[in-house]
């Protein structure tokens, strides 16, 4: 089965500044996205992720490279008719209600009135805005606007969905709501290409990840293959001992009342610590091994550049 999205050696440069100087934004980007996965395109804030998306969508033209969507050239109708897109900063007609806004876009796709009504009702329910059906968009919160934007991107029932920073600027509850919707879309068999700089969200929901820095992909693959299961250190919360007794076993990070939070770097010290706590009749409240995270990988790679 062909990849949903395939990019080969994509490059793009712009002339910037009062005295124009050519700056290469994309430097040989190559990646492949499979059916039914959430693909995380991860990188620092900047022009790279959005420029890649704009090239894929045909909003700007690359200098070199090849892009295929569902095995077709990316500018062909056969590829474009099966995609949806939520930009980082979407424009909303703020005096339209949620239902009117979705109906406007549904008409652009030529959907009949009965089909539009069913589609709008289902999408508002999916994004949790059925009670805001008659509310003008100017009265929406940032999280509600993100969700109505996501509903708009789904109006044509796309098989491949491009989301540019859909979680940016949201509070923790809003981020969770949008994450849950994205996961639901994967369960329905849709493929999601997710651009983000929020490492935690990428790690929580993505199947494959590409890390892009300075216009080049420096690492990509299945998330579980990128992240090592090796224990980097162990966090221990305990009581019943003094700080002086613990310094040789780990790094005390804080003490509150009787509780001490200790960072233990060496595994052999865990057994010594447990024996010491038992001997002093102390108590271990928590013991959490910390493995390598996507943030560790990303920060390490950025620092090497």
Which CATH number goes with the domain that contains 147?
A: 3.40.50.300
Secondary structure in 3-state letters for 247-305: CCCCEEEEEECCEEEEEECCCHHHHHHHHHHHHCCCEEEEEEEEECCHHHHHHHHHHHC
- Looking at the structure, tell me whether residues 149 and 255 fall in a common domain: no
- Looking at the structure, tell me whether residues 17 and 131 fall in a common domain: yes
**Which of these three, 224, 246, 277, is where a domain ends?**
224
- Looking at the structure, tell me whether residues 84 and 144 fall in a common domain: yes
- Looking at the structure, tell me whether residues 218 and 269 fall in a common domain: no
Q: DSSP characters for 126-192? A: HTT-GGGTTSBGGG--HHHHHHHHHHHHTTT--SEEEEESTTTT--HHHHHHHHHHHHHHHHTT-EE
**Which of these three, 198, 224, 250, is where a domain ends?**
224
- Looking at the structure, tell me whether residues 52 and 142 fall in a common domain: yes
Question: 192, 182 in Cβ contact below 8 A?
Answer: yes
- Looking at the structure, tell me whether residues 262 and 167 fall in a common domain: no
Residue pLDDT tens, the chain, 305 long: 568 999 999 999 988 877 888 888 999 999 999 999 999 998 887 778 999 999 999 999 999 999 999 999 999 988 888 999 999 888 888 999 999 999 999 999 899 999 999 999 999 999 999 999 999 999 998 889 989 999 999 999 999 999 998 887 788 888 888 899 999 999 999 999 999 887 888 888 999 999 898 889 988 888 777 776 667 788 888 888 888 888 888 888 878 888 888 888 888 888 888 888 888 888 888 888 877 677 767 676 666 66
- Looking at the structure, tell me whether residues 182 and 257 fall in a common domain: no
- Looking at the structure, tell me whether residues 117 and 255 fall in a common domain: no
Which CATH number goes with the domain that contains 262?
A: 3.30.70
pLDDT digits (tens, 9 = 90+) for 55-77: 999 999 999 999 999 999 999 98
Beta bridge partners of 264: 234
- Looking at the structure, tell me whether residues 113 and 158 fall in a common domain: yes
CA–CA gap between residue 135 and residue 97 (Å, rounded) = 5
Domain extent at residue 237: 231-304
pLDDT at residue number 38: 95
Nearest partner of 261 among 284, 282, 279, 235, judged by Cα: 235
Calculated CA dihedral for residues 304, 301, 167, 149, nearest 10 degrees:
90
- Looking at the structure, tell me whether residues 120 and 204 fall in a common domain: yes
Question: How many domains is the chain built from?
Answer: 2
How many residues are given for the chain?
305
CA–CA gap between residue 150 and residue 239 (Å, rounded) = 48
- Looking at the structure, tell me whether residues 220 and 130 fall in a common domain: yes
**Which of these three, 203, 224, 245, is where a domain ends?**
224
- The answer for residues whose C-beta is within 8 angstroms of residue 115's C-beta and 6 or more apart is 106
CA–CA gap between residue 47 and residue 236 (Å, rounded) = 41
- Looking at the structure, tell me whether residues 177 and 286 fall in a common domain: no
- The answer for residues whose C-beta is within 8 angstroms of residue 29's C-beta and 6 or more apart is 7, 9, 10, 11, 52, 65, 212, 215, 216, 217
Report the run of H or E that residue 100 belongs to, with start and end: helix 98-108
């Amino acid at each position: 089965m062909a990849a949903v999205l395939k990019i080969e050696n994509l490059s793009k440069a712009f002339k910037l500044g009062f005295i124009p100087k050519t700056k290469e934004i994309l430097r040989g980007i190559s990646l492949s996205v499979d059916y039914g996965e959430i693909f995380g395109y991860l990188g620092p804030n900047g022009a790279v992720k959005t420029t890649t998306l704009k090239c894929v969508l045909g909003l700007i033209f690359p200098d070199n490279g090849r892009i295929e969507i569902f095995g077709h050239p990316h500018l062909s109708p056969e590829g474009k008719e099966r995609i949806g897109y939520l930009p980082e900063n979407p424009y909303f007609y703020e005096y339209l209600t949620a239902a009117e806004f979705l109906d406007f876009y549904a008409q652009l796709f030529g959907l009949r009135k009965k089909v539009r009504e069913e589609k709008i009702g289902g999408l508002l329910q999916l994004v949790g805005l059925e009670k805001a059906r008659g509310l003008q968009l100017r009265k929406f919160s940032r999280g509600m606007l993100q969700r109505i934007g996501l509903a708009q991107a789904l109006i044509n029932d796309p098989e491949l969905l491009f989301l540019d920073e859909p979680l940016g600027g949201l509070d923790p509850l809003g981020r969770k709501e949008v994450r849950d919707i994205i996961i639901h879309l994967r369960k329905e068999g849709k493929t999601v290409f997710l651009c983000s700089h929020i490492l935690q969200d990428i790690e929580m929901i993505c199947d494959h990840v590409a890390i892009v820095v300075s216009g080049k992909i420096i690492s990509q693959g299945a998330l579980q293959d990128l992240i090592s299961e090796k224990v980097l250190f162990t966090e221990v919360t305990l009581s019943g001992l003094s700080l002086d007794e613990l310094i040789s076993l780990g790094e005390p990070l804080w003490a509150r009342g009787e509780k001490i939070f200790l960072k233990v770097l060496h595994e052999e010290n865990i057994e010594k610590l447990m024996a010491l706590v038992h001997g002093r009749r102390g108590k271990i409240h928590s013991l959490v091994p910390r493995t390598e995270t996507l943030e560790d990988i990303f920060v390490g790679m950025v620092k090497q550049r």
